[in-house]
Structure 1
Amino acid sequence: MKIKNSITISKRLTKFAILGALAVTSFSTTSCKKWLEEKPYSLYASETYYKNVDDATKAVLGVYEIMSNQKTYGFYMSMVFDIDSDLGYMEGTGFSNDNRTLAHYSFATSHNYITEAWRELYNGVNRANMVIARIPEMALMTSGTESEKAALKRCLAEAKFLRGLYYFDLIRLYGDVPFKTTFTKADDDMKAPRVDKEIIYDQIIKDMSEAIEDIPEVSEKKVDERVSKGAVKGILARVYLGRGGYSLRQNGKMERPDNYLDYYKEARRLTKEIIDSKQHKLSASYEDVFKNYAQLKLEPQESMFEVAFFNTSGENKNSGYVGTWNSPIVAQGATYGRANGFYRINPMIYYNYGNGDTRRDIAVATYEINASSQKVSLINTTKPFSGQTLANIRKWTPGKWRRDWQGTGFKDLNNTDINWVLLRYSDVLLMYAEAENEINGPGNNTEGDAYWYLNMVRRRGYNVDLTKASATADLATGLNKNQFFEKIVEERVLELCFEGFRKFDLIRWNRLGQNIRNTQTALTAVFSTFPYIAGGLFTDNKHELYPIPQKERDINTSLGQNPNY
Structure 2
Amino acid sequence: MKKYHLLYLLSALLLAGFTSCEDMLTEKPNSSYDKDGYFDSEAKAEMAIMGIYSSISDKDHYGWCEMAAPASDDTYYTSRTHSDNQVHDIAHYRINSTNTWVENLWKFKYQAIDRANMAIDGIRHMTGYEENKKLKALEAEARFLRAFMAFDLVKYWGDVPFKTTYSESYESAYQPRASRETIYDEIIADLTFAKENTEWATAGSDPERVTQGAARALLMRVYLQRAGYSLQMDGKLTRPEEGKRKEYFNAVIEEWKAFQANGYHDFHPRGYDTLFKDISYGTQNPKETLWEISFFHMQGKRNGGAWGIYNGPMVGEPTGLAASEANQHMGRANGFFIVVPEWRGFFEETDTRRDVMVCTYQQRWNAKLKAHEKRELKAGGWYCGKWRREWMSPDSWNKNLNYGDVNFCPLRYADVVLMAAEAYNETGNAQSTAWELLNRVRTRAGATPITEANYEELMAARKKTHQLTFIDDTTPQGKFRTALYWERGFELAFEGQRKYDLIRWGVLGKALKLFGEASSVNKKETKPYPAYQTFTEGKHELFPIPLKEIQSNPKLEGKNNPGY
2:362 is the counterpart of 1:353: no
Q: Distance in 2 between matches of 1:150 and 1:407?
A: 37
| CA distance, structure 2, for counterparts of residue 125 and residue 26 of structure 1 | 13
- Aligned match for 1:376, one of 367, 374, 377: 374
Decide whether aligned partners of structure 1 residues 287 and 31 sit closer, same or farther in structure 2, where only a CA change above 3 A counts: closer
The answer on 1:456 being equivalent to 2:440 is: yes
Provide the residue aligned with 2:324 in structure 1: none
CA distance in 2, matches of 1:528, 1:509: 31
Partner of 2:57: 68
Counterpart of 1:139 in structure 2: which amino acid? T
- How do 1:158-197 residues align onto structure 2 when only pairs under 5 Å count? 158-186=141-169, 188-197=171-180
Shift of residue 305, structure 1, vs aligned partner: 0.8
Structure 2: gaps spanning 5 or more residues? 320-328, 456-475
Q: Deviations over 1:17-50 (max 9, x none)?
A: 4245336535466466x84xxx7226x5222111
Residue identity (%) = 34
Seen in structure 2, the aligned counterparts of structure 1 residues 493 and 427 have a Cα distance that, compared at 3 Å, is: same
Write the deviation string for residues 324-373 of structure 1: whole angstroms up to 9, x where unpaired. Answer: 11111111118211111011110111111112111111111011111034
Query: The residue matched to 1:239 in structure 2 has which SS?
Result: helix
Distance in 1 between residues matched to 2:219 and 2:122, nearest whole Å: 25
Q: 1:314 deviation in Å?
A: 5.0
Counterpart residue number, 1:239? 222
CA displacement at 1:504 relative to structure 2: 0.8
Deviations 1:456-486 (A, max 9, x none): 1111101xxxxxxxxx621133461111111
Matches within 5 A, 1:165-564: 165-186=148-169, 188-219=171-202, 222-258=205-241, 259-284=244-269, 285-317=271-303, 319-333=304-318, 335-372=329-366, 373-378=371-376, 392-408=378-394, 409-441=397-429, 443-444=431-432, 449-462=433-446, 473-478=448-453, 480-524=476-520, 527-529=523-525, 530-559=527-556, 560-564=559-563
| Code of the aligned partner of 1:475 | I
Aligned length: 522
- CA distance in 2: counterparts of 1:473 and 1:361, whole angstroms: 17
Shift of 1:118: 0.6
Shift of 1:525: 8.0
1-structure distance, mates of 2:549, 2:116:
21
**In the aligned structure 1, how far is the partner of 2:494 from the partner of 2:75?**
7
TM-score (normalizing by structure 1): 0.88
1:177–1:195 contact (8 Å) kept in structure 2: yes
Aligned to 1:54: 43
- Normalised by the length of structure 2, the TM-score is 0.88
CA RMSD of aligned residues (A): 2.0
Q: Deviations over 1:74-95 (max 9, x none)?
A: 1222x21111111111111233
Q: Per the alignment, do residues 167 and 31 of structure 1 end up closer, same or farther by CA in structure 2, a change over 3 Å counting?
A: closer
Contact 1:325/1:343, CA 8 A, preserved across alignment = yes
Of 420-429 and 21-30, more deviation after overlay is shown by 21-30
Q: Are the aligned partners of 2:384 and 2:494 in contact in 1 as well (CA < 8 Å)? A: yes
Correspondence for 1:469 = none
Residue 11 (structure 1) shift: 4.1
Distance between the aligned counterparts of 1:264 and 1:537, measured in 2?
33
SS for the counterpart of 2:6 is helix
8 A contact 2:316–2:372 mirrored in 1: no
Match of 2:108 among 108, 114, 120: 120
Cα deviation per residue 1:157-186 (whole Å; 9 max; x = unaligned)? Answer: 111111111111001100100111110112
- Answer yes or no: is the 8 Å Cα contact 1:315–1:415 preserved in 2: no
Verify: 1:10 aligned to 2:4, yes or no.
yes
SS of the residue aligned with 2:74?
coil
The code of the aligned residue for 1:509 comes to W
SS in structure 2 of the partner of residue 41 of structure 1: coil
Is the contact made by 2:316 and 2:364 (CA closer than 8 Å) also made in structure 1? yes
Change (3 A) 1:524 1:369: closer
The amino acid of 1:521's aligned partner reads E
